[in-house]
Amino acid sequence: MKKILLLILFFPFFVFSAPSGSPSLPAIIEEGFFIPDTKWVNFRLGFLEYFASDLVMEFEDVGKENNFHLRKVKANANLGSFTINIKDRLDLYTEIGSFKLEPEFRQGSSLYIAKSSNDMLYRAGARLIFFEILDFTLGASVKYTIFSASNDYLTLNDRPIDNDIKFDLKEWQIDVGLAQKISILRPYIGVSYRDTQIKMKNLPFLLNKLDLTFQKKVGVFLGVAASLGSFVMVEGEIKLVNEMSTNLSLEVRF
């Protein structure tokens, strides 16, 4: 059984994750560089790389009424994180870094590909461990994300066209998951709920803005974290159903 779990949960390193994170994350790194583990509060610094091959979204009313059909939305990010940990039970954190979107959509025989500029994404969130029984941990997290950017380019049937498109993204995300400790590994699986709105404004081919939202608000995530319990943790995760994405991250406890 353990071999099957390891095989499944190492899968994230080879496939395509909007990060939910391990439910046991507040307790994985038990010892830091400077702050004794007897203290109630410590902090961590981290870096994560995120790539979404498709956010699995759809246009809302205006887009549908004007016969726009979304093919896919790519996204990628490189973010730094700062986390305050309280008693190895609660994480309060923020993530900041570069992010970009690339929606691809059709209207009749016209194929549009837009790409936002690399701009700053801001995220704040909290993680809480509900309980730990034997080697299992049940936890949850909530986070809020905002992002705004101008357009880098827009093509119509592979020909560039002048534009002044603006992108705005706002998102609430709630995750609940279960993790198991297997030696230095913490494989986990969970369910994610995302309430996301992406707005495309100042479109050269439409007076109104186009709003995008997830086709399905609920998705599944699975991943694995690895740590010896001291100083450093690495993690890989995939997210399925409401997006196809991969996340790799590194955290250091001080």
Q: What is the pLDDT along the chain (254 residues), one digit of tens a residue?
A: 443 333 333 333 333 334 789 999 999 999 999 999 899 999 999 999 999 999 999 999 999 999 999 999 999 999 999 999 999 999 999 999 999 999 999 999 999 999 999 999 999 999 999 999 999 999 999 999 999 999 999 999 999 999 999 999 999 999 999 999 999 999 999 999 999 999 999 999 888 899 999 999 999 999 999 999 999 999 999 999 989 999 999 999 99
**Token code pair at residue 18:** 């909007």
Q: pLDDT tens digits, residue range 135-174?
A: 999 999 999 999 999 999 999 999 999 999 999 999 999 9
For the chain, the structural domain boundaries read 2-253
Question: What is the rounded distance in angstroms from the CA atom of residue 104 to the CA atom of residue 114?
Answer: 6
Residue 7 in 3-state DSSP? helix
Angle at alpha carbon of residue 237, lines to 251 and 225, rounded to 5°: 45
Using only C-alpha atoms, the chain has a radius of gyration, in whole angstroms, of: 20
CATH class, range 2-253: mainly beta
How far does Cα 231 stand from its chain's mean position? Answer: 24
Cα dist. 30→176, 219, 234 in Å?
22, 30, 14
